[in-house]
Structures are given as C-alpha cells and as structure tokens.
Amino acid sequence: MYAICDGDDNLQQHLEDYGYRVQQCTNHFVKTSMYYLWKEQYSKEERMRIKKEISGVISTLKNSVKKHRIDRNFARLEWRIDTTQKELLSIANELLSRNKDSNTAKFILRTAGKVTLFAELTTRGIQIPDNNNHVENLMGIVGQRIKKNRQSWVDKNLEIMVNTVWQIIS
C-alpha cells in the first residue's frame, strides 16, 4: 500500500505504522524545505538559489520517469534515482556545513528516500503520482460545499466528506 503525503512527520509515521510506504509529495518537499530555510533566516536570494537547485533535481527526476515509463529503460531510471538521492544528500551536506543543526538538512535527509518512491515503483511497473494535488483539490471542493451548505466539520459531516473523497479517488 502506498500513500502520498505532505511534510507532516506524524501523518507519515502513522501511515508507516499501518504498513504504508510513503511518497513524499514533491511539491510539499520543495515548499517545506523553503519554510525551514526561512525559519533558519536564510536570505531571500539564498533561499531562491537553494529552491532552484532542489526544484531542478526533482524536475529532472519527474521528467526521467515520464521518459523511461515510455521507453522502459529502467536501468537508466534507477541511475537517475541514485543521482537524485546523491544530489539531495549534497544539498543537505552543504546546509549542514553552514549549520550543524539545520532543520532543512535534517528534513531533506529524513525524506529524500520518500520523495523518489514514485520513480522506484515505476521501475517495477507500478504508477503512483509524485504529488497529492488532486486529493487536496478534491478536499477543497468538498470543504467549500460543506461550508456553503452551512454544515460543520464535526462528526457525521466529516465522515461524509472523507467517504465522498474516498469514493472519488478509489
């Protein structure tokens, strides 16, 4: 079983406890990294430089998955996955060299293996999304409908919303 998650460690741990393998949402991976850099008071220019570097690494992986899903060159895709891991490790090490307690680096190290799960599964013929945008959009639509109808998020209404989203995505 697989789950695509944002950067919430507690949610990921809970799902892993139930046997799920977690795909770290690639969009949230970049955003959470930027949040940690901001908390560590990196300048805007430095944050943008690091964001560009992380986004480039992730985009290259996503493009490789698209290409190799078609041409079935999974050996090359495995090389790209390894390269992605090394590049993310390099970014984390750069951050640790500046600040040995960097939460950004710790986040990257903790989640780098999860951000490539969608690519690893592609090498086995299994397709999962790299991000959770579609589910977040559905949750927003259902949430707006509940709010528009003056319903609350408690008990039965929350159960209805979750069941509705589950029916749409399953």
Angle between helix 74-98 and 44-71 (nearest 10): 170
Q: Is residue 33 within 8 Å of residue 54, measured between CB atoms?
A: yes
Dist. CA 34–CA 53, nearest whole Å: 12
Tokens of 63: 């493009």
Q: Is residue 128 within 8 Å of residue 23, measured between CB atoms?
A: yes
How do strand 21-24 and strand 2-5 relate by DSSP bridges?
parallel
Looking at residue 10, its pLDDT comes to 84
Tokens of 65: 């998955």
Looking at residue 136, its pLDDT comes to 62
The amino acid occupying position 66 is K
Taking alpha carbons only, the member of 9, 14, 39 closest to residue 24 is 9
Tokens of 55: 């986004």
pLDDT tens over the chain, length 170 residues: 888 888 778 888 888 898 989 999 999 999 999 999 999 999 999 999 999 999 999 999 999 999 999 999 999 999 999 999 999 999 999 999 999 999 999 999 999 999 999 999 999 999 998 887 666 656 666 666 656 666 555 556 666 766 776 666 65
Dist. CA 7–CA 143, nearest whole Å: 21
